[in-house]
């Protein structure tokens, strides 16, 4: 069977579409009668041509954007979760597995499933506002046994130009988080779901843009402070982690490598490791080659001391980031710890990422600090505080 993203299949589909259009034009005068056969012939020619054109356009778009890389990925036959492999120079690999189940959070059932709150997060240092954003509070947050407990925090970032709603409906982060908590694979954790862009539709790649928006500072300084002030969230860096797909994955790894006192664990699903200016980003570097290098994650691994963080990079053998991921594996050094999930097949799409999230949360559960004691003045469950408004 020809490759789903290969040029031969696109050429064949295009030729079929052109042939269908030409055949329709040639046959149309012959189908001009009023009989039921003429009506069926016209309908068949019309819809056949439409389907052929849409298939050709879909194949070209899929090849360009990488939504589905294989036929099994398109048909949903690759249903098994990924396997985490820990890497150590000259060391032995350890494998961990997980799985996914469906879940829909209901505010009226907070005692057993938790609550999702829509919030705005205002950055005191940057003046930026994260909206729309969602906070998932696990059921333990409302239980008397945890009344004096501060919880670890996981920041989940969408890709660009994704929305945080898709993190709930398609990637099902609250469902997967709850399942991992119930299986004791993850400590009770507060989940924050956002998109990586904070200034309209500009793709800032989570950078502190010279003379521009300080997006990295918002996510690494403003957000942790706002969450610990508004919720019973632990303010220790080892109690904070970040996960993201595509652009969100790049941001996640960058936060850990550049600001290890903000996040000690980071997970990238189909992430990339360097950025370039394009029409959606504008000028990210202010003309500075040094700024560009500092945001090249492979360059940082090779040229900076290893920070004390844990990284998990997810890829598949037919994704564009497969080769760069292997370079990241080869470049890291202690005390940085690096693990990977490598699927045999997958694509740059939600179906692939839902296979990777469960084992990623299991991996995180072995690294994220457990809930700790909260001071007597801690904010009430789900209450808002200066710098953050919940709605």
Lookup: tokens for 172: 């099902």
Residue 196 in 3-state DSSP? coil
Residues 6+ apart with CB under 8 A from 214: 125, 126, 128, 208
pLDDT at residue 87 is higher than 90: no
Find where tokens 């990925």 sit: 73
Burial of 269 (0-12, 13-18, 19+ CB in 10 A): buried
Find where tokens 């040639």 sit: 26
Tens-place pLDDT, residues 182-217:
999 999 999 999 999 998 889 999 999 999 999 999
pLDDT band at 8 (very low <50, low <70, confident <90, very high): confident
Does 161 sit behind a cis peptide bond, omega within 30 degrees of 0 on the bond before it? yes
pTM for the full predicted model: 0.75
pLDDT band at 104 (very low <50, low <70, confident <90, very high): very low
CA distances 362 to 200, 231, 265, Å, are 34, 24, 13
Give me the chain's average pLDDT, please.
Answer: 83
When the candidates are 3.20.20.60, 3.40.50.300, 3.40.50.1820, 3.40.30.10, the CATH number that belongs to 83-390 is 3.40.50.1820
Residues 6+ apart with CB under 8 A from 66: 5, 319, 320, 347, 348, 349
Q: Write down the domain spans for the chain.
A: 7-65, 83-390
pLDDT on residue 375: 53
Tens-place pLDDT, residues 290-330:
999 999 999 999 999 999 999 999 999 989 999 999 999 99
pLDDT band at 137 (very low <50, low <70, confident <90, very high): very high
Percent of the chain beyond pLDDT 70?
81
pLDDT at residue 227 is higher than 90: yes
pLDDT at residue 74 is higher than 90: no
CB distance 174 to 188 below 8 Å: no
């Amino acid at each position: 069977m020809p490759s789903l993203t290969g040029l031969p299949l696109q050429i064949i589909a295009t030729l079929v579409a052109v042939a269908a259009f030409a055949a329709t034009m040639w046959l149309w005068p012959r189908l001009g009668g009023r009989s039921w056969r003429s009506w069926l012939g016209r309908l068949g020619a019309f819809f056949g041509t439409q389907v052929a054109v849409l298939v050709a356009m879909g194949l070209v778009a899929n090849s360009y954007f990488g939504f589905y890389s294989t036929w099994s990925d398109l048909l949903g036959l690759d249903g098994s979760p990924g396997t985490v492999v820990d890497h150590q120079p000259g060391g032995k690999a350890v494998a961990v597995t997980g799985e996914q189940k469906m879940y829909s959070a209901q505010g009226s059932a907070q005692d057993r499933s938790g609550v999702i709150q829509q919030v705005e997060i205002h950055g005191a240092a940057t003046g930026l506002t994260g909206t729309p954003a969602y906070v998932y509070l696990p059921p333990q947050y409302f239980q008397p046994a945890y009344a004096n407990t501060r919880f670890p925090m996981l920041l989940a970032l969408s890709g660009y130009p994704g929305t945080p709603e898709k993190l709930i409906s398609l990637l099902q982060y609250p469902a997967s988080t709850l399942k991992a908590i119930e299986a004791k694979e993850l400590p009770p954790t507060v989940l924050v779901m956002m998109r990586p862009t904070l200034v309209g539709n500009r793709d800032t790649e989570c950078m502190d843009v010279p003379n521009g928006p300080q997006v990295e500072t918002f996510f690494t300084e403003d957000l942790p402070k706002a969450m610990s002030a508004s919720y019973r969230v632990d303010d220790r860096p080892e109690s904070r982690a970040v996960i993201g797909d595509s652009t969100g994955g790049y941001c996640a790894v960058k936060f850990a490598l550049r600001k290890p006192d903000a996040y000690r664990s980071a997970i990238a699903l189909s992430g990339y490791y360097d950025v370039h200016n394009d029409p959606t980003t504008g000028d990210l570097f202010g003309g500075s080659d040094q700024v560009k290098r500092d945001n090249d994650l492979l360059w940082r691994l090779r040229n900076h001391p290893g920070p004390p963080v844990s990284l998990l990079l997810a890829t598949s053998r037919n994704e564009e980031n497969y080769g760069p991921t292997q370079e990241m594996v080869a470049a890291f050094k202690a005390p940085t710890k690096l693990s990977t999930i490598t699927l045999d097949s997958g694509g740059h799409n939600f179906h692939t990422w839902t296979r990777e999230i469960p084992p990623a949360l299991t991996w995180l559960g072995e690294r994220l600090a457990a809930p700790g004691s909260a001071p007597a003045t801690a904010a009430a469950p789900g209450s808002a505080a200066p710098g953050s408004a919940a709605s």
